[in-house]
Chain A
Amino acid sequence: MKALEITDLVKRYPTGTEALKGVSLEIEQGEFFGLLGPNGAGKSTLIHCTTGLAQPTSGSIEVFGHDAVHHYEAARMAVGLAPQELNLDWFLTIEESLDYHGGYFGMPRRERRERAHELLDAFSLLDKKDERTRFLSGGMKRRLILARALMHRPKLLILDEPTAGVDVELRLELWHYVQRINGEGTTILLTTHYLEEAEQLCSRIASINDGQIAATGSTRELATEYGVSSLEDAYLGLVGRKELSRAHIGSDVE
């Protein structure tokens, strides 16, 4: 059974824009999978369709064998989403944010309390647990978003550009944490603009451009396929911007 199996997924918005044009994708259990693509390529739409925040026009999505569109309850129980936007509830404190999220996923009170404490400790938020989310720094909000996604112990963790705009220290901290939970068996789907991040963390990468999967494979496989030496050059080839290659810039200077 795959952790995530997407088949011929199409998403057309009422405006007529086709954000996904028949995407098929498979992620194995326990994988650390990267999804790369420029802005507007369809990464977030794909994630939103998987988590119920967008409704697919056609195609199917299965999470650990559960239909994520029509019989979504079991599928959503298995997914944790750390979205790109810092979408915290201003009325809640840090601890309440975790507690309510656990409640939405049906966790009993005692379990919620213990799990929240564990995550607050892991993300160095314990001493701020009674602060309202709207008064937190950007870094703390980012940590809380990740902690919230992990609250109900999802088997598939979806990270939508989790390190966008965070400092080096927090980025490394988040990397360590997600690598650890991946080592413990959690499947991870990561979207990122940072190629270094994808190279460092992901065992397999798919590149999406203009609503279609352009290529899938490991960093080395992608580089070999496109006859280049780095993931960055393979990526630039995929999105049709080879002229931006660092190798080019070097030769221009010469």
Chain B
Amino acid sequence: MNTRQIRFFTLVRREVTRFFKIKRQTLGAPLLETFLYISVFGAALGSRVGALHGYEYIVFVVPGLIMMAWATNAFANNSSSLLQQKFQRSIDDQLSSPASPLELLLAFSLGGFLRGLIVATLTFVAASLLVDIPVEHVLVLLPSLFLVGLFFAQLGVLIGLRAEQFDDVSFYQTFVLQPLIFLGGVFYSASLLPEPFETLTRFNPVYYMIGLVRYGFLGYSETNIALSLLFLTAAASVLFAVNLRLFMIGYRLRA
């Protein structure tokens, strides 16, 4: 490895080491949460809900849970990690190193992206042990999950950069992210909602992300797949560009 590769690998290793050192909180808790969702909505309520668009309720819900796991973990990891390091000023060690803004941004982004990947994969494995989860369109599923992970990893970095106290991070998580995900159709199909809620749901970007992932797994979608992919790519790219610009000007990092 050359100097630059060693540097980048170390920056990423720092982020991954952080969440592994507190794995009960960063990996265990999200897995338990997903397990509880599957138990409550799948086993307890699912038997009474019946089939949704021809799919067993639990099978309909699992793709949304996988997407939710990746999204929330990517976001939570990056926003917390950045804020903690700013808070302790330990981030100065990376900032005064020869690392470029791009290297720093990629490393901070990858931390949450990889944590989301691990939790989402474990969620899929655990759900597959309980029910048979089909994978109908792997070529849509993989880029969709990748883009969802990238989008929320970037959003986490952005909020972590802006945040000045822990309350700032939890505000976005509790009052913005969680409602968007829950109202985006993880646990239900938007087509079952009465008006105006069905139309309102279509203004929620997470609805299209869930649509993409559900289509990848089940082959069922209420949204335009190509358009959704295009918009998600554009949104993730814009967020990445904004973050890169903020790292370049040292926004709330360098005085």
Q: Which residues from chain A sit less than 8 Å from chain B, CB to CB?
A: 13, 45, 48, 51-55, 72-74, 76-77, 79, 81, 83, 85, 87-92, 96, 100-101, 103-108, 148
Contact = CB atoms under 8 A, between A and B. Distances in A.
Nearest to A85: B89
A53 B90 contact: no
A103 B13 contact: yes
B218 to A, nearest CB: 39
Contacts of A91: 17-18, 21-22
Q: What are the 7 tightest A-B residue pairs by CB atom distance, in nearest-first order?
A: A103-B10, A106-B3, A104-B97, A87-B89, A54-B255, A89-B90, A73-B98
Contacts of B9: 103
Given A48-B255, A85-B89, A107-B6, A100 B95 contact: no
What is the interface residue range for chain B against chain A? 20 to 34
A105 B98 CA distance: 7
B92 A104 contact: no
A136 to B, nearest CB: 14
B1 A52 contact: no
15 contacts: A48-B254, A55-B255, A87-B88, A87-B90, A89-B14, A89-B88, A91-B18, A100-B13, A103-B10, A104-B7, A104-B93, A104-B97, A105-B97, A106-B3, A106-B7
B224 interface: no
A104 B9 CA distance: 9
B245 interface: no
A77 B96 CA distance: 9
B85 to A, nearest CB: 7
Given A54-B255, A55-B254, A106 B92 contact: no
Given A51-B96, A55-B254, 5 more contacts: A72-B98, A103-B6, A103-B9, A105-B97, A105-B98
Given A53-B255, A106-B6, A108-B6, A90 B90 contact: yes
B4 interface: yes
A88 B85 CA distance: 9
Most buried by B among A77, A87, A96: A87
A49 B124 CA distance: 48
A94 B21 CA distance: 15
Contact of B10 (A54, A55, A76, A104): A104
B93 A148 contact: yes
Contacts of B96: 51-53, 76, 79, 81
Contacts of A85: 89
A252 to B, nearest CB: 42
Nearest to B5: A106
B41 to A, nearest CB: 35
B254 A54 contact: yes
Nearest to A48: B255
A83 B96 CA distance: 11
B94 A104 contact: yes
B253 to A, nearest CB: 9
Contacts of B17: 91-92, 96
